[in-house]
Amino acid sequence: MKKGILLEGVSKSYLSEERDVTPLKNISFRAEPGKITSILGKSGCGKTTLLHIISGLERLDSGEVKFFDEKGKVTNDVNLSLVFQEPRLLPWKTIRQNLALPIRYLNQTEQDRLIREALELVQLPGIESMYPENLSGGMAQRVGLARGLISKPDVLLLDEPFSSIDFMTRTQLQRDLSEIQRKKGFTTLLITHDINEAVFLSDEILCLEDGEITKKITIESPKPRDFGDVNLSRYQKQLFEYIIK
Ligand SMILES: Nc1ncnc2c1ncn2[C@@H]1O[C@H](COP(=O)(O)OP(=O)(O)O)[C@@H](O)[C@H]1O
Ligand SMILES: [Mg+2]
């Protein structure tokens, strides 16, 4: 069953002698099961902190992070996966060895099958024996995505996964992620500062500003979407006007 994410009044501060920062003041939202929800915000507004709190890498000060199933029932039975801004592949390991890490408890045959499937999904079949240094930036990020998908997560958390990639490659990756998500149906929380990326990929966009969700937009356009889709341009305009003040 698909799983959704529910945040209730989440806050987080970093206190130090030099300065106190409160990136998350009072965050509440739902990311619906099987949908792509984006958190859109400027650099430094707390997006990574939010993702780390949801994934359990970082502790919150107050509030709660919960997961729920399609019937709305709260559950702890959720398989989460996080894809970082950089691919973070281990350079001394082959692609096969890198992809085997999240599934190392499975036997060799099963690992091989899942690795083959994941590489096919990100359109890089047959690169198991290559090393990360032989991949382009776009290919490495595809492998990062494959590693995120290999354990068949209920919830995929993506932290600006395409932000360091050139425009054309990024556009292909966005289209491919949209297709993969449609095919597999996992719940996706995408962190981004890219308005066009958020509009193209999302079912729902939440704007994060000064530690709070200040705006929520539902993107009504059906999928698969076209990059030139005129239905999307009004959402882009609305967000540009809202964010670029
Ligand atoms: N471990 C930390 N210690 C102190 N301050 C931090 C830490 N992590 C993040 N911050 C601060 O919290 C704010 C939000 O950071 P971050 O969540 O990384 O923003 P974003 O991902 O939106 O760029 C920034 O001001 C950053 O300097
Ligand atoms: Mg960040």
Domains, the chain, in order of start with CATH, read 3-79+153-243 (3.40.50.300)
Contacts of 90 (CB under 8 A, 6+ apart): 97, 98, 101, 132
Contacts of 220 (CB under 8 A, 6+ apart): 231
Whether the CA torsion 134, 192, 154, 180 is positive or negative: it is negative
For ligand 2, a single-atom ion, the residues with CB < 5 A are 47-48
The DSSP annotation for 62-111 comes to EEEEEEEETTS-EES---EEEE-SS----TTS-HHHHHHGGGTTS-HHHH
Helices and strands counted in the chain (H then E)? 7, 10
CA–CA separation, 135 and 141 (whole Å): 9
Does residue 12's CB lie within 6 angstroms of at least one atom of ligand 1?
no
pLDDT, tens digit (0-9, with 9 covering 90-100), for 213-244: 999 999 999 999 988 888 899 999 999 999 88
pLDDT at 244: 83
Ligand with smallest separation from the Cα of 50 = 1
Does residue 46's CB lie within 6 angstroms of at least one atom of ligand 1?
yes
CA–CA separation, 189 and 181 (whole Å): 11
Q: Which atom of ligand 1 is nearest to the CA of 16?
A: 4
What separation in Å is there between the alpha carbon of 51 and the centre of ligand 2?
A: 9
What separation in Å is there between the alpha carbon of 48 and the centre of ligand 1?
A: 7
Residue 57 token pair: 């890498």
Which residues, given as ranges, of the chain have pLDDT below 50? none
CA–CA separation, 115 and 84 (whole Å): 19
Whether the CA torsion 227, 125, 87, 211 is positive or negative: it is positive
Q: Which atom of ligand 1 is nearest to the CA of 43?
A: 23
Q: What residues form DSSP beta bridges with 155?
A: 80, 187
pLDDT at 141: 95
Q: Which atom of ligand 1 is nearest to the CA of 160?
A: 21
Is cis: bond before 222, omega within 30 of 0?
A: no
What separation in Å is there between the alpha carbon of 157 and the centre of ligand 1?
A: 17
pLDDT at 69: 97
What separation in Å is there between the alpha carbon of 99 and the centre of ligand 1?
A: 29
Nearest alpha carbon to residue 188 among 9, 1, 39: 39
Query: Are the beta carbons of 40 and 195 closer than 8 angstroms?
Result: yes
Tell if the pTM clears 0.75, that is, is over it. yes
Does residue 161's CB lie within 6 angstroms of at least one atom of ligand 1?
no
What separation in Å is there between the alpha carbon of 90 and the centre of ligand 2?
A: 21
Ligand with smallest separation from the Cα of 13 = 1
What separation in Å is there between the alpha carbon of 15 and the centre of ligand 1?
A: 11
State which of 13, 21, 60 you would mutate to test the pocket of ligand 1, scoring each by most atoms of that ligand within 8 A of its C-beta. 21
Q: Tell me the chain's radius of gyration from C-alpha atoms.
A: 18
pLDDT at 159: 96
Stated as kind and residue range, the H or E segment containing 229 is none
Q: Which atom of ligand 1 is nearest to the CA of 41?
A: 22
Distance from chain centroid for Cα 72: 22
pLDDT at 227: 84
Does residue 14's CB lie within 6 angstroms of at least one atom of ligand 1?
yes
The DSSP annotation for 142-200 comes to HHHHHHHHTT--SEEEEESTTTTS-HHHHHHHHHHHHHHHHHH--EEEEEES-HHHHHH
pLDDT at 63: 97
